């Protein structure tokens, strides 16, 4: 009997050990499942965070039944430094993006559209004006970027113009360019100079607006590609008028067309004469991209008229394309 009790006690202890081991294994298995579940959630979150603005905008377009449409509107710059500009349209929103590649420009356009869509969902939205005081005034670069997106302008460009001083006391000068305006700022680092330039640009925009609320708008831009759709009286007359008539005032003709289409004309005299002793000049049209034509003549006025004639020939050729 004592032996049976001993065997029974041993069996009970053995069963207890098995139960304990099974409990530990279950706990470990549950922990592994929890860790795997957490890792799946984390990976899903990472995949969501890694989505590009183009992908996010596409998904939004699918949800609302309006897929975003991208269009290349400008391609210029040097071969080693190209510049592309695209627009994206989704619903009633159109935004621009610019970059050294089409992919980068598309990314920027999508990002601008997403910010506008996010702003449209916020209450008390002020659309007529933009006050830097409403944003983070401690970051003028960010405020200027937000302003450009708010107005659907091209984003600000920052260019390092100058670097002076010894290595331990450098001073940088950075130019900020935005919609035909330019301001520069200096600082002990490129970041500080860029910040100063953005701050001065905001001040200039406020000055042009006449108040702290920025209401200034840049002059309209005329894209060369859009000339073929122009239907004004002067451009229609140019399409059917020969440009070989003698004693024609091409300067006046170009001026009238520029006023109708909305671009500016600037004549730039060249000091050096041609090998034949003639005057020469350039005429610059503020189109996108900029149009520049050359002209020569026995007098400065003749050179201007020849340059205007060449510019008109170019406009006529582009406007007459089917």
Here the CATH number for the domain that contains residue 88 is: 3.30.160.20
pLDDT of residue 208: 83
Contacting residues for 180 by C-beta, under 8 A, at least 6 apart: 218, 219
Closest CA to 304 of 312, 293, 313, 295: 295
Handedness of CA 221, 226, 227, 230 (dihedral sign): negative
| Among 191, 218, 245, residue at a domain's last position | 218
Based on the fold, state whether residues 233 and 171 are members of the same structural domain: no
In a domain, 306, yes or no: yes
- pLDDT at 49 (0 to 100): 54
Asked whether residue 158 is assigned to any structural domain, the reply reads yes
Let me know if residue 173 belongs to a domain: yes
DSSP 181-248: EEEEEEESSHHHHHHHHHHHHHHHHHHHHTSSSB---PPPPEEGGGGGG---HHHHHHHHS-S--TT-
pLDDT at residue 44 in the model: 47
Q: How many angstroms from the chain centroid is the CA of residue 144? A: 12
Query: For residue 120, what are its two tokens?
Result: 């449209």
**Same-domain pairing of 109 and 139:** no
Which tokens belong to 270?
């060249």
Q: Which two tokens stand for residue 153?
A: 């302008």
Q: Are residues 69 and 135 part of one domain?
A: no
> Are both 142 and 69 inside the same structural domain?
no
Q: Give the total number of structural domains in the chain.
A: 3
**Strands 279-285 and 287-288: what pairing?**
unpaired
Could you tell me how many residues make up the chain?
322
- Identify the domain boundary among 218, 253, 277: 218
Claim to verify: residue 265 and residue 308 sit in the same structural domain: yes
**Phi, then psi, of 60 in degrees rounded to 5:** -65, -40
Residue 46 lies in a domain: no
d(CA 175, CA 177): 6
pLDDT tens, residue by residue, 54-111 = 888 888 877 777 788 888 887 776 666 678 887 888 876 777 888 888 888 888 888 8
The 3 state secondary structure assigned to 6-66 is: HHHHHHHHHHHHHHHHHHHHHHHHHHHHHHHHHHHHHHHHHHHHCCCHHHHHHHHHHHHCC
Show which of 159, 184, 218 is a domain's final residue.
218
Q: Alpha-carbon distance 113 to 61, whole Å?
A: 11
Which residues of the chain, if any, have pLDDT below 70?
1-49, 77-81, 92, 119-138, 219-221, 322
CB-CB contact of 117 with 68 (8 Å): no
Residue 297, pLDDT score: 96
- Note down the domain range covering 60: 53-115
Residue 289, in any domain of the structure: yes
Assess if residue 156 is contained within a domain: yes
Under DSSP, is residue 105 helix (H, G, I), strand (E, B) or coil? helix
In a domain, 33, yes or no: no
d(CA 127, CA 178): 20
Residues 291, 298: Cα–Cα separation, whole Å: 24
The structure's pTM equals 0.41
Looking at residue 192, its pLDDT comes to: 92
Same domain? For 105 and 141 the reply is no
The Cα 139–Cα 194 span in angstroms is 11
In the three-class reduction of DSSP (H, G, I as helix; E, B as strand; rest coil), residue 111 is classed as helix
Q: Does 158 share its domain with 83?
A: no
Pairing of strands 287-288, 222-223: parallel
Same structural domain, 239 and 313: yes
């Amino acid at each position: 009997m004592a032996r049976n009790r001993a065997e029974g006690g041993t069996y009970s202890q053995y069963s207890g050990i098995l139960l304990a081991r099974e409990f530990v294994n279950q706990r470990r298995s549950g922990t592994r499942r929890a860790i795997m579940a957490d890792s799946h959630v984390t990976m899903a979150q990472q995949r969501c965070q890694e989505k590009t603005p183009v992908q996010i905008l596409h998904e939004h377009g699918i949800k609302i039944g309006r897929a975003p449409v991208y269009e290349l509107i400008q391609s210029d710059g040097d071969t080693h430094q190209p510049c592309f500009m695209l627009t994206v349209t989704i619903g009633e929103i159109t935004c621009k993006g610019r970059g050294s590649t089409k992919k980068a420009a598309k990314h920027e356009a999508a990002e601008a559209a997403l910010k506008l869509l996010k702003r449209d969902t916020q209450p008390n939205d002020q659309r007529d004006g933009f006050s830097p005081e409403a944003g983070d005034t401690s970051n003028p670069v960010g405020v200027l970027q937000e302003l450009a997106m708010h107005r659907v302008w091209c984003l600000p460009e920052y260019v390092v113009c100058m670097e002076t001083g010894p290595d331990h006391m450098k001073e940088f000068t950075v130019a900020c360019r935005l919609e035909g305006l330019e301001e520069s700022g200096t600082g002990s680092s490129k970041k500080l100079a860029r910040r100063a330039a953005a701050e001065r640009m905001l001040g200039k925009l406020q000055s042009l607006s006449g108040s702290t609320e920025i209401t200034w708008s840049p002059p309209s831009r005329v894209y060369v590609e859009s000339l073929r759709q122009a239907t004004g009286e002067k451009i229609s007359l140019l399409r059917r008028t020969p440009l070989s008539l003698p004693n024609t005032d091409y300067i006046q003709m170009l001026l009238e067309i520029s006023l109708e289409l909305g671009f500016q004309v600037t004549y730039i005299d060249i000091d050096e004469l041609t090998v034949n002793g003639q005057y020469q000049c350039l005429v610059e049209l503020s189109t996108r991209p900029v149009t520049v034509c050359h002209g020569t003549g026995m007098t400065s006025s003749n050179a201007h008229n020849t340059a205007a004639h060449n510019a008109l020939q170019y406009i006529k050729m582009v406007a007459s394309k089917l």
